[in-house]
Amino acid sequence: MRDKDNPKKANRPELRLHVPEPPFRPGDTPDFSSLKVPAAGSTPRPDIAVAAAEIEPLAKGLVRVLDDDGAAVGPWDPKLDADTLRKILRDMVTVRIFDDRMYRAQRQGKTSFYMKATGEEAIATATAAALDREDINFPTYRQQGLLVSRGYPLVEMMCQIYSNKGDKLRGRQLPIMYSSKEHGFFTISGNLGTQFPQAVGWAMASAIKGDSRIAVGWIGDGATAEGDFHAGMTFAAVYNAPAILCVVNNQWAISSFSGIAGAEKATFAQRGVGYGLPSLRVDGNDVLAVYSAVRWAADRARSNLGATLIEFFTYRAEGHSTSDDPTGYRPAGEAKAWPLGDPIERLKAHLLALGEWDEERHEAMRAECDAEVRAAQKEAEKMGVLPEQGRDNIESMFDDVYADVPWNLVEQRDQAVSEGRD
């Protein structure tokens, strides 16, 4: 390039690209002291008819109910009865044990892939408790707690993970990509964000038909960068869709921290305000805050006040999946340093503080859940594990592409059956 063609001007500063970096990398000592954590109970609880702009501070703050002593405080305390709290606690413990067993099953070569929800169990289980059984979820891959809470048989979940003969999805989906219409759990997609505007469409349909059911859409912090996130919010706002739009901000999208999705500049909840959607940022490790926020949003949706955006602020304590090694991009011990604690321990402390729980009962419940998961695993493995699959019933591969099997698939089915698997 000749000097006269050089677009740089001596009197102007050289432009620089900003690439966000997380505060800590492997080898660093994690220190979250700069994270502003408002005191439990300090966030106001507005009327459900409030306009988005009026509660913008709630999109930057953090709705919290459980304080450091395990007491429920402030206007967002849903004042749940002890049975409901114990049910959520049990669901969370079941999810954690289930995750551990299935993680190990993957390491033993019994399946191809697994994704844990460790540290995030409160979000799905408390949401399930706050919804009506008939409401539908359009989940991502880390909401297994919705199924556990709604009583989807653990054996069926495992059969899906093993793609075995008991797999209702007939071996066509990755492990953990469940689908259960009966349990209001829409089929999971590997293309991130797609389910978010789909939930809005379901909610619009419910409104078109004068139904009373609502839809909940789920998305991760990383996938908020997808166009579908914005499509979902646009349609939800335009048509006042009876939907709850949930962003699970667990800080990490595989190895990319939330800043790569724009978290340095604004919270994920703040994105809703611009669309005119009342938006809340909620302590995702606080069962009571999650429950209360979802109930608030559900009440809004059911009252024809439209959709709410909720950012659940949490931390992905484990790797993204069994294919991920988080020690390559973040410091060891970061999960332990997370200032919002462990959701199971926090709810346990609350129940203990209420005098509705004790260590013995907790241990007995944990042992029961463990036995239940082990029994389910034994049952599921009787129907086979992944490496043994794909030999029988090859012709089933050609079903369900269309309602009827067209001529080209009939011909290919015959060929595939005659060739066999190998």
Partner 1 sequence: MNMIQALNNAHKVAMERDGDIVVYGEDAGYFGGVFRVTEGLQKQFGKTRVFDAPINEAGIVATAVGMAAYGLKPVIEIQFADYIYPGYDQIVSEVAKIRYRTAGEWAMPMVIRSPYGGGIFGGQTHSQSPESLFTHIAGLKTVIPSTPYDAKGLLIAAIEDPDPVIFFEPKRIYNGPFDGHHDKPVKPWAKHPASEVPEGHYTIPLGKAAVVREGADLTVLAYGTMVHVALAAVEENGIDAEVIDLRSLVPLDIETIEESVKKTGRCVVVHEAPRNTGFGAELTALVQERCFYHLEAPVERVTGWDTPYPHAYEWAYFPGPKRLKKALEKVMAD
Binding site for partner 1 (CB under 8 A): 136, 138, 168-170, 172-173, 177, 179-181, 186-187, 189-191, 194, 196-209, 215, 227-228, 231-232, 234-235, 238, 399-403, 406-408
Give the shortest CB-118-to-partner 1 separation in angstroms: 26
Give the shortest CB-403-to-partner 1 separation in angstroms: 4
Give the shortest CB-153-to-partner 1 separation in angstroms: 15
Nearer to partner 1, 87 or 230 (CB): 230
Nearer to partner 1, 358 or 411 (CB): 411
**Owner of token pair 């399930």:** 128
325: left (phi over 0), alpha (psi -120 to 50) or beta: beta
| Bridge partners (DSSP) listed for residue 219 | 247
In the three-class reduction of DSSP (H, G, I as helix; E, B as strand; rest coil), residue 173 is classed as: coil
What are the E-state strand segments in 221-315? 243-249, 252-253, 256-257, 279-283, 308-313
Give the shortest CB-105-to-partner 1 separation in angstroms: 22
Give the shortest CB-227-to-partner 1 separation in angstroms: 6
User: Would you say the C-alpha torsion 212, 48, 251, 73 has a positive or negative sign?
Assistant: negative
Give the shortest CB-193-to-partner 1 separation in angstroms: 9
Give the shortest CB-407-to-partner 1 separation in angstroms: 6
Nearer to partner 1, 199 or 297 (CB): 199
Give the shortest CB-191-to-partner 1 separation in angstroms: 4
Nearer to partner 1, 98 or 196 (CB): 196
- State phi, psi for 255 to the nearest 5 degrees: -100, 0
Nearer to partner 1, 172 or 378 (CB): 172
Nearer to partner 1, 303 or 396 (CB): 396
Give the shortest CB-206-to-partner 1 separation in angstroms: 6
Is the CB of residue 55 less than 8 Å from the CB of residue 269?
no
Q: How far is CA 344 from CA 37, 88, 287, 398, in A?
A: 19, 9, 9, 44
| Helical axes 287-302 vs 82-107, angle rounded to 10° | 110
Q: How far is CA 323 from CA 109, 300, 340, 398, in A?
A: 13, 40, 27, 29
Is the CB of residue 393 less than 8 Å from the CB of residue 417?
no
Strand-strand pairing, 256-257 and 252-253: antiparallel
Question: In angstroms, what is the C-alpha Rg of the chain?
Answer: 23
Is the CB of residue 43 less than 8 Å from the CB of residue 73?
no
Nearer to partner 1, 196 or 252 (CB): 196
Nearby residues of 295 by Cβ (< 8 Å), 6 or more positions away: 78, 130
Nearer to partner 1, 136 or 263 (CB): 136
Nearer to partner 1, 371 or 401 (CB): 401
331: amino acid identity, one letter: P
Beta-carbon count within 10 A of 297 CB? 31
